[in-house]
Amino acid sequence: MNTKKILMTTALATLFVSTLSIAHDPSLHTSNKEKPNCQAMHEMDPSMMDMNDPVTQAIMKQCGKADMKEQQEDEKTACTAEHAKLGHCTLEESTNKDEGQKSKDSEHDHD
Amino acid sequence: MIKAILGAVAIALASAAAFIYSGLYPMGADDQHNKITYWVLETMRENSIARSAKDIDVPELSDPSLLLMGGADYNDMCSGCHLKPGLSENDMTIGLYPSPPNLASRLDEHGHEHRLTNEDAARRNFWIIKHGIKASGMPAWGPTHSDDRIWGMVAFLERLPELTSGQYQILTARSAESGNGHH
């Protein structure tokens, strides 16, 4: 009986601690999504930017990622609007194409 | 002689107990400590943090990925009390006592001076974020956040006072992130 109680208490304590540790997972913050406003960065004169500064590098990285994401979304939208009507492609096909490209890229990374 | 000393100690203890139980000390956050209490608490806090943090190894903090990870976390977890570029106060900074320092301003503008080297400031910030500060409103983030994520916030804090509002917005936005170093 005592062993059962101890096991129960340990299990509950473990569950509580593991719940706490996932409570602050970064993915849980994504409800607070905000797009980086990179317009100002794009308008800046590159010669005025210190490319060795970690802040500049972080901004370039963040805006590079945001641009890539936007481009991918644009490609998907373009497929749906123009070609899907003509039956040339579907949104599903476009997604598969993206995934294919991703797997190609990852293969390339492993070479 | 010994009797007199014991008597004095007993009276002092009884007076202290009477004061504690009387409820005379004001506990409202809108009623500031007197100078002596404030000095005692601040001196105790600073010396305790310095002693506890002195052996912490500071990693390389100039990695851009660390800034991005720390920036997003700072915005979600800290900016409500410690502000961000373009803000000088909000309901929390006005209502909390002691008032949380404005970490988006330069050290000499945020109320008090620490005269610390960059390494010591990093150790101090890491320790405070990880362990929190008793009865100050500063929580301990250590139980729920890895050391890597806390160092990310420390790295971001180092650069925060120099950031413009635009740079802050870009560095703290989460939507472009694909993990930002979390695996």
In DSSP terms, which residues pair with B133 in a beta bridge?
Answer: B138
For B162, nearest residue in chain A (alpha carbons): A55
CB atoms B62 and A20 under 8 Å: no
Is pLDDT of A109 > 50? no
The CATH number of B35-172 is 1.10.760
Determine the pLDDT at residue A65: 82
The residue assigned the tokens 């096991």 is A7
Dihedral (C-alpha) A26, A28, A29, A34: value to the nearest 10 degrees? 110
Each residue of B66-87: b (16+ CB within 10 Å) or e?
bbbbbbbbbbbbbbebbbbbee
Question: Does the pLDDT value for residue B103 go beyond 80?
Answer: yes
Domain locations along chain B: 35-172
A4-52 pLDDT, tens digit per residue, is: 766 566 555 555 545 444 455 666 555 557 889 998 777 777 778 889 9
Q: State the Cα–Cα distance between residues A19 and A13, nearest whole angstrom.
A: 10
pLDDT (tens digit, 9 = 90+) per residue, A39-82? 877 777 777 888 999 999 999 999 988 777 777 776 666 656 66
Mean pLDDT of B105-113: 64
Q: In angstroms, rounded to a whole number, what is the distance separating the alpha carbons of residues B126 and B158?
A: 11
Shortest Cα–Cα distance, A3 to chain B (Å): 28
Whether A59 and chain B come into contact, CB under 8 Å, resolves to yes
State yes or no: ipTM above 0.95: no
AA identity, residue B140:
A
Q: DSSP letter for B86, please.
A: T
SS3 B26: coil
Please name the residues in contact with A94: beta carbons below 8 A apart, sequence gap of 6 or more: A75, A76, A79, A80
Domain ranges for chain A, please list them. Answer: 73-111
CA angle at B92 for the pair B122 and B106, rounded to the nearest 5°: 35
CA B136 to CA B97: how far, in whole Å? 7
| Cβ neighbours around B21 below 10 Å, total | 8
Nearest to B161 by CA among B63, B74, B49: B74
A20 and B178 in contact by Cβ < 8 A?
no
Tokens of A93: 């096909």
Token pair, residue B130, equals 């990880």
Close Cβ partners of B127 (under 8 Å, ≥ 6 residues apart): B49, B52, B53, B56
Using one digit for the tens of pLDDT, what is the confidence trace for B126-136? Answer: 999 999 999 99
A21 touches chain B (CB under 8 A): yes
A23 to B182: CB separation less than 8 angstroms, yes or no: no
Cross-chain residue pair B176–A69, CB shorter than 8 Å: yes
Residue type present at position A49: M
What is the C-alpha separation between B28 and B159, in angstroms, rounded?
35
